[in-house]
Amino acid sequence: MARNSTTNEIVIQNTPHTILTAQDSAAEVIHPEGAAPICLVCEHASARIPAVLDDLGLAPEDRYSHAAWDIGARDLAVALAQKLDAPLVAAGVSRLVYDCNRPPEAPDSIPARSELVEVPGNADLSNDDRQARVASVYRPFRDMLCRKLDQFEKPPIMVTLHSFTPEWFGVPRNVELGLLHDNDDRLAKAMLAEAPHDLDTRLNAPYDASDGVTHTLREHAVPRGLHNVMVEIRNDLISDSTGIARFADILGDMLTRAMVREVAR
Ligand SMILES: [Zn+2]
């Protein structure tokens, strides 16, 4: 592990037997000195694909599509980290390399198809290939998140930040902001109560825990008894700097009020 001297980010370096090159990192902690009792997480922050994987054979139009990453999520998470003075743990490679919000045993942790996007580089992987992805991406990401959680002086809340595509298999999605929970709904419901009235905000939309999307919450927050929520924003709303700033304000205010309402009681 090393610290980038210009950005003050902690970066996990390459390890032996890895698919990562020296230019790649599995995970990073942004704003590590953040003092708020809030751990932000962005598992789908990056579209980066290590060179050895040759773009996973993706078609050019798919290479930076929502299949590869959550469009706008990293920029929003960084803005929120600064606004709330909170550390952010973010994945450094595409979810098509390994989806850090899935356990290794989940078939879609390394998907050969995502919605309508074929991923030839993930088809017919050997067990060794899968294990190399797990060892190179999932475990370093998981270890970094565990270490960050251990560093808080008081138990933090955990907020994972995601974006979703406005259309799924051709069907438009009207929901703008989704608040998802696993078996602990305290923070999601407290945030819902603070949502702006002009925003289409829903609990457990466009996905819910039965879709297997709450792995990070279930793995890290629930066992520690931490208040937690998974936030999903429709990606057309955070496609530019104006949208990013707007949602950093909205989510910052919702979280701050929800913590007063639910966490600090
Ligand atoms: Zn996501």
Report angle CA 136, 141, 123 to the nearest 5 degrees: 45
Kindly give the interhelix angle for 73-84 and 241-258, rounded to the nearest 10 degrees.
50
What is the CA(164)–ligand 1 centre distance, in A? 7
User: What does residue 99 show for φ and ψ, rounded to 5 degrees?
Assistant: -90, 105
Query: Which is nearest to 18 in space by CA: 119, 114, 95, 98?
Result: 98
Cα 112 to ligand 1 centre (Å): 17
pLDDT tens, residue order, the chain (265 aa): 455 555 566 655 544 468 998 899 999 999 999 999 999 999 999 999 999 999 999 999 999 999 999 999 999 999 999 999 999 999 999 999 999 999 999 999 999 999 889 999 999 999 999 999 999 999 999 999 999 999 999 999 999 999 999 999 999 999 999 999 999 999 999 999 999 999 999 999 999 999 999 999 999 999 999 999 999 999 999 999 999 999 999 999 999 999 998 887 6
Q: How far is the CA of 265 from the centre of ligand 1 (A)?
A: 30
Chain-centroid distance of CA 93 in Å reads 11
Domain spanning 2-263: which superfamily?
Zn-dependent exopeptidases (3.40.630.40)
Cα 221 to ligand 1 centre (Å): 17
Cα of 67 from ligand 1 centre, angstroms? 9
pTM, rounded to two decimals? 0.93
Q: Tell me, in angstroms, the distance from the centre of ligand 1 to residue 160's CA.
A: 9
Domain positions in the chain are 2-263
CA of 213 to the centre of ligand 1 (A): 8
